């Protein structure tokens, strides 16, 4: 039985191997963006660690987030990754303690400098391949559950997944045309998003390049407030916002005449002035008979409360298009903010709060969202169209998590990949696009 078995010898001597060979593409892309150079120019911070510069530490955090390492403690495995070290040009990797200490020492001024680099790149790339004069902002708050007793600013608030647990409230804005993160704010868990809405949208608007003239906003019921809606009216911003159904509104929507919409839904509209709003507004409503099964429905629709045998959803809007077009427009939020937040929670470490410090967690969040946009830019500018809406997990499987070995031959660094790698042609195609 043992005659045909060959003996194997094991050694631990290789210093230039990696399971993230495709991260080379992200590194090349960041070099083309001159990211390290921009960080060196704009991020001014008296470095406390003599082994690493600030730009190296920031790049390291961005790269390990993109590679799929979801916890700071798990970065220990990169200590043995020789290719990763060669890409960054360092002899050793910072350990988890160094990373956390770096985040804790970043003052708000330096965090704003990092955000400035992010904004500069976003402005530079915004019109590449897609000139436009209008934007669509998708607004959405989400709860980030925290675990630990002494995490600063973590409070009990609206947390639908973990009721009663302490959390942060993260308010996010995404730009729909490019599916990019646009602006975000990390707040205590008991923060009501509507109290910050006007200042939030002003900061979103302040980032817009000058050629953009028209702004449309889509938001859920967290932003249903007359002060915010009247502010949008005064600013000339178009919007669709999910409405909260009051008792008097329920009487109106029950008495309306409805037209067929799609998938069993019916649609109608009415003009209504809730108290204490200054003027009447347009509301567009759709309804569906209470079904036995709600297959294919969104979580919001699953949570609807029946009113006299029907389920209702209501929008307040200043759009002048037909009711069905208003709902068609609003439904696109599902592919924008809602999917992007799921992506951040499932494939990025959004839910893995690394420190007890509120300021350090803001710094980490900004770097995470920076990494999200780097991947977004990479997909939009370097990958074929069929990859445009792929998740980061798919990008990792196909392009990033590829075993490779670095060798030196004739004074050249050569990165060797497996002979049967199925995406070889795509790899070279991406390299050509990066060079352009």
Q: What pLDDT is attached to residue 428?
A: 94
Q: What value, to the nearest 5°, has the Cα angle with vertex 336 and ends 332 and 339?
A: 115
Cβ 347 vs Cβ 39: under 8 Å: no
Cβ 102 vs Cβ 57: under 8 Å: yes
Task: Give the count of beta carbons closer than 10 Å to the beta carbon of residue 395.
Answer: 22
Which residue shows structure tokens 């302040």?
206
Instruction: Round to whole Å and give the CA distance between 338 and 335.
Output: 6
Q: What pLDDT is attached to residue 4?
A: 59
Q: What pLDDT is attached to residue 372?
A: 98
What tokens appear for 45 in the block? Answer: 């911070």
Instruction: Round to whole Å and give the CA distance between 185 and 369.
Output: 11
Which residue shows structure tokens 């977004």?
376
Q: What pLDDT is attached to residue 263?
A: 87
pLDDT tens, residue order, the chain (436 aa): 455 566 777 767 677 788 888 999 999 999 999 999 999 999 998 765 678 889 999 999 999 999 999 999 998 878 777 777 777 777 788 889 999 999 999 999 999 999 999 999 999 999 887 778 899 999 999 999 998 889 999 999 988 888 889 999 999 999 998 999 999 999 999 999 999 999 999 999 999 988 898 999 999 999 999 999 999 999 999 999 999 988 889 899 999 999 999 888 999 999 999 989 999 999 999 999 988 776 766 766 766 778 778 899 999 999 999 999 999 999 998 777 889 999 999 999 999 999 999 999 999 999 999 999 999 999 999 999 999 889 999 999 999 999 988 888 878 888 899 998 999 999 999 999 998 8
Q: What pLDDT is attached to residue 49?
A: 67
Closest CA to 178 of 244, 107, 126, 116: 126
Q: Are strands 214-219 and 134-145 parallel, antiparallel or unpaired?
A: parallel
Instruction: Round to whole Å and give the CA distance between 62 and 202.
Output: 28
Closest CA to 362 of 147, 188, 121: 188
Instruction: Round to whole Å and give the CA distance between 433 and 436.
Output: 5
Closest CA to 209 of 179, 175, 172: 175
Instruction: Round to whole Å and give the CA distance between 69 and 349.
Output: 8
CA 347 centroid distance within chain: 10
What tokens appear for 328 in the block? Answer: 């068609």
Q: Write 52-61 long-range contacts (CB < 8 A, 24+).
A: 52/90, 52/94, 52/98, 56/88, 56/89, 56/90, 57/94, 57/98, 57/99, 57/102, 58/114, 58/367, 59/30, 59/35, 59/88, 60/88, 60/93, 60/94, 60/99, 61/99, 61/364, 61/367, 61/371
Q: What value, to the nearest 5°, has the Cα angle with vertex 77 and ends 73 and 81?
A: 140
What tokens appear for 118 in the block? Answer: 């992010």
Please give the full DSSP string across 289-343, using - where no structure is assigned: E--S--TT--HHHHTPPPBTTEEEEEEEE---S-HHHHHHHHHGGGGTHHHHHHH
pTM: 0.93
Q: What pLDDT is attached to residue 14?
A: 72
Q: What pLDDT is attached to residue 45?
A: 87
Cβ 20 vs Cβ 67: under 8 Å: yes
Instruction: Round to whole Å and give the CA distance between 154 and 166.
Output: 6
Q: Are strands 238-242 and 214-219 parallel, antiparallel or unpaired?
A: parallel
Q: What value, to the nearest 5°, has the Cα angle with vertex 320 and ends 317 and 324?
A: 80
Instruction: Round to whole Å and give the CA distance between 298 and 28.
Output: 39
Query: In which element (H, E) is residue 178 found?
Result: none
């Amino acid at each position: 039985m043992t005659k045909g078995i060959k003996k194997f010898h094991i050694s631990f001597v290789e210093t230039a191997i990696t399971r993230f060979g495709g991260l080379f593409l992200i590194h090349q892309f960041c070099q083309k963006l001159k990211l390290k150079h921009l960080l060196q120019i704009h991020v001014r911070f008296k470095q406390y660690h003599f082994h690493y510069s600030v730009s190296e530490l920031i790049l390291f955090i961005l790269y390990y987030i993109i590679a799929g390492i979801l916890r700071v403690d798990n970065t220990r495995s990169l200590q043995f990754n020789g290719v990763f070290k060669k890409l960054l040009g360092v002899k050793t990797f910072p350990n988890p303690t160094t990373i956390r200490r770096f985040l804790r020492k970043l003052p708000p001024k330096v965090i704003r400098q990092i955000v400035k680099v992010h904004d500069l790149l976003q402005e530079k790339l915004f019109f590449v391949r897609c000139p436009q004069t209008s934007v669509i902002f998708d607004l959405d708050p989400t709860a980030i559950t925290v675990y630990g007793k002494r995490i600063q600013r973590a409070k009990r608030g609206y947390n639908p997944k973990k009721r009663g647990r302490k959390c942060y409230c993260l308010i996010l804005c995404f730009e729909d045309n490019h599916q990019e993160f646009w602006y975000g704010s990390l707040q205590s868990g008991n923060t009501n998003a509507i109290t910050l809405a006007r200042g939030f949208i002003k900061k979103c608007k302040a980032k817009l390049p000058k050629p953009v003239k028209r702004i449309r906003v889509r938001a859920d019921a967290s932003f249903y407030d007359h002060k915010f809606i009247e502010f949008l009216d005064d600013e000339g911003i178009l919007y669709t916002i999910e409405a909260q159904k009051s008792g008097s509104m329920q009487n109106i929507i029950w008495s309306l005449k409805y037209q067929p919409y799609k998938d069993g839904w019916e649609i109608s509209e009415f003009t209504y002035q809730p108290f204490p709003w200054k003027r009447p507004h347009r509301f567009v409503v759709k309804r569906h008979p209470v079904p036995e099964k709600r297959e294919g429905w969104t979580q919001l629709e699953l949570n609807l409360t029946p009113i006299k045998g029907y389920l209702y959803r209501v929008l307040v809007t200043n759009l002048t298009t037909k009711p069905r077009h208003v709902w068609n427009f609003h439904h696109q939020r599902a592919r924008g903010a809602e999917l992007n937040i799921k992506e951040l929670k499932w494939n990025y470490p959004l839910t893995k709060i690394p420190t007890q410090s509120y300021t350090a967690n803001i710094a980490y969040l900004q770097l995470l969202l920076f990494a999200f946009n780097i991947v977004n830019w990479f997909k939009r500018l370097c990958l074929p169209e069929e990859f445009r809406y792929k998740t980061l997990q798919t990008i990792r499987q196909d392009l990033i998590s590829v075993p490779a070995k670095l060798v030196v031959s004739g004074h050249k660094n050569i990165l060797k990949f497996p002979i049967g790698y199925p995406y070889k042609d795509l790899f070279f195609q991406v390299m050509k696009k990066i060079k352009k």
